[in-house]
């Protein structure tokens, strides 16, 4: 809580507790969590490696993979971007915000190394990107957004980014895009251990271990990680000033993820996923401050049980999840210590069947959320129920996808959410697609119940979005050329903002404005015949996201670009490989955009990665160096939040693989 209103993820306040007792309890609980993860891993090892002799006669089943549902995995007529596990491992990224930045698909609003990182996709706010773990939303229910600095990509098997409105599929908040974090099984007879260690500037240290144990009927993946840094980089507080070292910016994050899948027969799959994480970070001062004692702790347990049964004609899938999330924010300078806890239970079932050339799906989702906060007048809970229908039809070169979602929120009907997507495949090298959808975002718990300032009478943000996408691919694989261009348009009414209340004593949430977002996205990829050049690419984004109603506070004229939304962004990259050496260069340009008090200057950033692969002690080994901000650019993403100059990270990776013939 700051200035009477919750403006960022670090300003949520709840009841005060004794810090020593809290830390002791957290340490005990975390040790128990880690023991649980190691116990599960050891049990998996005993199941998968010390198999009884009679298993030699068993039949090896084909590998199958878990998907949210086929109808949700891709959207006809819209842009879908995928990163598999190998791409995530090869990218020298410690959190998902770095992956999104390098791809050029989103503008990442980063407060600095180890600090909060949110996204703006196609001119939307941070609350307009749905983030899902195996199809279950994980956005903070009090804020309605996700902090991407808390998501380690090395925990995941695949990341899918769906651009455009997809509220029909994923519900509230999926206005600008949806990001799905996935765990997938691999059945077989293999054990694989991956170890990654990294050291870098500002006393950065990281360790990552992943053990995969795959049998004919069981698949287990155990991942442990630890990252820490002091992040005491030098910066100039203002133009012409001498450089000073950043203070109060230590960062530590430890986590574990366990995935176990069992395949009783060729048609069935049972899965269990557990995600544990503890992050403790200091919050540095703004450039206008001399010191800071602020600190934030984020802890969570996320668990999920899944079931999938498939036949040639139909599939039924069920999911049950329970999330328990905790946050502590403290600032000794203003004698503030506050906490909050959120518990979320979700149950989902989906039935999918083939009918002639159509794929039809009917699903139901039930979500219960409970939040405890001294800034809420009472213990607050929320219930969301939804019925979702989807259909995909294929006729010759036409692909049609449609859907309808109806939600019931605490007993009140939400607006129905239809969508329609079309893809026309003219040839193997050219296709065109389009999509129209109705989208909405419910007011967050803070928007409605925060005291003072919450407004229970808020209306949901709502509107329509449209897009057209053209894709060209060369028919010859060498050289391979791929070009994509997308045009999008979106109108959102009843946009929620916080502004001073009538008495001027505190800030209050209101449906203050409407925002019109439209733009153009382009991407061209080129793989030449030159042996040592693997790929070249160039991206460009033009986004105009303008306020449609003049406001006094925050001061915004009609037609003005909304805050922290650059109009122009661009990127370019090249991947090289020669024998055992490889290199990748990524360049990003971000145009000028408005902050709260001033215009932020445009900036260019370059990142260079150099890798060397070899066999050491009969183990495939990679040594890499990652140089960020290669040209030592002085820039800020968030007003008065300094960013580091040129800095480095060295990473050493070993892979141990053992295949056992069963």
Distance CA 443, CA 179 (A): 20
**Two tokens at 45?**
């090892």
**In contact, 500 and 482? CB cutoff 8 Å:** no
Confidence at residue 373, expressed as pLDDT on a 0 to 100 scale: 86
Higher pLDDT, residue 377 or 612: 612
Distance CA 382, CA 347 (A): 14
Confidence at residue 458, expressed as pLDDT on a 0 to 100 scale: 93
Confidence at residue 541, expressed as pLDDT on a 0 to 100 scale: 96
The DSSP output letter for 617 is T
Confidence at residue 479, expressed as pLDDT on a 0 to 100 scale: 75
Q: Would you call 530 helix, strand, or coil by DSSP?
A: coil
**In contact, 96 and 116? CB cutoff 8 Å:** no
Count the neighbouring beta carbons within 10 Å of the beta carbon of residue 97: 23
The predicted model gives 22-28 an average pLDDT of 39
Min mean pLDDT across 262-276, 490-504, 514-528 is at 490-504
- % of the chain at pLDDT higher than 70: 89
**Two tokens at 28?**
């005990």
Min mean pLDDT across 40-49, 67-76, 158-167, 360-369 is at 40-49
Residue 291: band (very low, low, confident or very high) from pLDDT cuts 50, 70, 90: very high
**Two tokens at 3?**
């200035």
Q: Can you tell me which residue has the tokens 């967050």?
A: 444
DSSP track, 449-488: HBTTT--TTPPPEEEEEEEEEEEEE-SSSSSEEEEEEEEE
**Two tokens at 242?**
């001498």
Residue 5: band (very low, low, confident or very high) from pLDDT cuts 50, 70, 90: very low
The predicted model gives 287-313 an average pLDDT of 94
**In contact, 217 and 194? CB cutoff 8 Å:** no
Residue 310: band (very low, low, confident or very high) from pLDDT cuts 50, 70, 90: very high
Chain-centroid distance, C-alpha 258: 19
Min mean pLDDT across 9-23, 179-193, 329-343, 624-638 is at 9-23
Distance CA 1, CA 292 (A): 16
Does the N-terminal peptide bond of residue 479 adopt cis geometry, omega within 30 degrees of 0? yes
Torsion sign, CA atoms 112, 113, 118, 122:
positive
| Structure confidence by residue, pLDDT tens digits, 560-599 | 999 999 999 999 999 999 999 999 999 999 999 999 889 9
DSSP track, 580-600: TEEEEEEEEEE--EE-SSSEE
Q: Would you call 43 helix, strand, or coil by DSSP?
A: helix
The number of C-alpha atoms within 13 Å of 285 and in the hemisphere containing its C-beta is 14
The DSSP output letter for 2 is B
Confidence at residue 393, expressed as pLDDT on a 0 to 100 scale: 93
Distance CA 69, CA 360 (A): 11
**Two tokens at 434?**
């389009």
Q: Which of 465, 483, 466 has the alpha carbon at shortest distance from 474?
A: 483
The number of C-alpha atoms within 13 Å of 412 and in the hemisphere containing its C-beta is 8
Residue 507: band (very low, low, confident or very high) from pLDDT cuts 50, 70, 90: confident
Phi/psi for 312 (5° steps) reads -65, -25
Confidence at residue 26, expressed as pLDDT on a 0 to 100 scale: 41
Q: Would you call 489 helix, strand, or coil by DSSP?
A: strand
What is the model's pTM? 0.88
Confidence at residue 72, expressed as pLDDT on a 0 to 100 scale: 77
Q: Which of 326, 233, 199, 276 has the alpha carbon at shortest distance from 37?
A: 276
Q: What is the mean pLDDT of the chain?
A: 87
Instruction: Name the CA dihedral angle for 10, 333, 449, 123, rounded to a multiple of 10 degrees.
Output: -30
- % of the chain at pLDDT higher than 90: 70
Q: Can you tell me which residue has the tokens 């800071």?
A: 292
The number of C-alpha atoms within 13 Å of 363 and in the hemisphere containing its C-beta is 30
Confidence at residue 464, expressed as pLDDT on a 0 to 100 scale: 97
The predicted model gives 644-655 an average pLDDT of 96
Does residue 60 surpass a pLDDT of 50? no
Distance CA 495, CA 556 (A): 13
- The pairing of beta strand 190-200 with beta strand 647-659: antiparallel
User: If residue 30 lies in a helix (H) or strand (E), which one and from where to where?
Assistant: helix 19-48
Chain-centroid distance, C-alpha 604: 24
Q: Which of 220, 68, 65, 91 has the alpha carbon at shortest distance from 154?
A: 91
Confidence at residue 660, expressed as pLDDT on a 0 to 100 scale: 67
Residue 18: band (very low, low, confident or very high) from pLDDT cuts 50, 70, 90: very low
DSSP track, 347-406: EEEEEEEEETTEEEEEEEEEEEEEEE-TTBSS-EEEEEEEEEEEEEEEETTEEEEEEEEE
Residue 76: band (very low, low, confident or very high) from pLDDT cuts 50, 70, 90: confident
Residue 82: burial class (beta carbons within 10 Å; 0-12, 13-18, 19+):
middle
Residue 63: band (very low, low, confident or very high) from pLDDT cuts 50, 70, 90: very low
Does residue 58 surpass a pLDDT of 60? no
Phi/psi for 651 (5° steps) reads -130, 135
């Amino acid at each position: 809580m700051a200035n009477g209103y919750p403006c960022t993820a670090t300003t949520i306040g709840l009841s005060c507790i004794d810090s020593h007792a809290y830390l002791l309890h957290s340490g005990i609980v975390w040790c128990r969590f880690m023991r649980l993860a190691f116990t599960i891993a050891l049990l998996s090892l005993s199941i998968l490696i010390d198999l009884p002799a009679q298993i030699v006669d068993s039949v090896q089943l084909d590998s199958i993979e878990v998907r949210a549902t086929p109808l949700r995995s891709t959207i006809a007529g819209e842009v879908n971007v995928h990163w598999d596990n190998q791409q995530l491992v090869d990218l020298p990224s410690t959190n998902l915000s770095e992956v999104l930045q390098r791809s050029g698909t989103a503008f990442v609003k980063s407060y600095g190394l180890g600090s909060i990182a949110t996204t703006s996709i196609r001119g939307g706010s941070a609350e307009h990107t749905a983030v899902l773990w195996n199809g279950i939303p994980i956005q903070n229910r009090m804020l309605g957004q996700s902090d991407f600095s808390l998501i380690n990509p090395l925990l995941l098997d695949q990341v899918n980014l769906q651009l455009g409105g997809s509220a029909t599929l994923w519900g509230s908040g999926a206005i600008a895009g949806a990001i799905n974090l996935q765990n997938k099984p691999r059945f077989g007879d293999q054990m694989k251990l991956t170890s990654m260690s990294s050291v870098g500037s500002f006393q950065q240290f990281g360790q990552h271990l992943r053990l995969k144990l795959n049998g004919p009927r069981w698949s287990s993946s155990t991942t442990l990680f630890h990252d820490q840094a002091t992040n005491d980089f030098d910066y100039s507080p203002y133009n012409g000033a001498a450089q000073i070292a950043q203070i109060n910016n230590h960062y530590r994050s430890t986590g574990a993820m366990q995935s176990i899948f069992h395949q009783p027969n060729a048609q069935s799959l049972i899965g269990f996923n557990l995600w544990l994480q503890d992050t403790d970070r200091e919050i540095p001062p703004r450039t206008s401050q001399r010191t800071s004692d602020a600190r934030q702790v984020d802890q969570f347990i996320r668990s999920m049980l899944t079931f999938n049964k498939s036949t040639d004609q139909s599939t039924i899938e069920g999911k049950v999840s329970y999330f328990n999330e905790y946050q502590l924010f403290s600032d000794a300078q203003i004698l503030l210590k506050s906490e909050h806890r959120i518990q979320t239970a979700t149950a989902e079932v989906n039935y999918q069947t083939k009918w002639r050339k159509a794929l039809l799906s009917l699903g139901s989702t039930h979500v219960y959320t409970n939040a405890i906060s001294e800034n809420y007048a009472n213990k607050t809970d929320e219930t969301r129920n939804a019925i979702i229908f989807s259909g995909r039809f294929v006729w010759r070169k036409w692909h049609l996808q449609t859907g309808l979602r109806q939600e019931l929120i605490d007993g009140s009907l939400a607006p129905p959410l239809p969508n329609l997507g079309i893809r026309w495949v003219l040839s193997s090298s050219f296709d065109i697609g389009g999509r129209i959808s109705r989208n909405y975002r419910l007011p967050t718990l803070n928007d409605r119940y925060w005291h003072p300032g919450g407004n229970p009478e808020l209306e949901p943000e709502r509107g329509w979005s449209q897009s057209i996408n053209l894709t060209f691919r060369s028919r010859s694989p060498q050289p391979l050329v791929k070009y994509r261009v997308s045009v999008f348009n979106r109108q959102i009414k009843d946009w929620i903002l916080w502004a001073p209340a009538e008495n001027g004593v505190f800030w209050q949430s209101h449906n203050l404005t409407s925002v019109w977002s439209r733009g153009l996205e382009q991407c061209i990829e080129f793989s030449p015949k030159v042996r040592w050049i693997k790929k070249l690419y160039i991206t460009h984004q033009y986004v105009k996201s303008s306020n449609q109603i003049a406001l006094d506070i925050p001061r915004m004229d009609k037609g003005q670009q909304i805050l922290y939304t650059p109009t122009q962004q661009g990127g370019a990259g090249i991947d090289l490989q020669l024998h055992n050496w490889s290199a990748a260069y990524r360049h990003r340009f971000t145009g000028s955009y408005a902050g709260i008090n001033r215009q932020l200057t445009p900036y260019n950033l370059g990142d260079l990665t150099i890798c060397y692969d070899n066999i050491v002690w009969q183990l495939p080994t990679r040594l890499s160096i990652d140089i960020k901000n290669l040209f030592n650019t002085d820039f800020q993403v968030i007003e008065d939040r300094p960013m580091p100059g040129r800095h480095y990270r060295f990473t050493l990776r070993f892979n141990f693989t053992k295949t056992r013939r069963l």
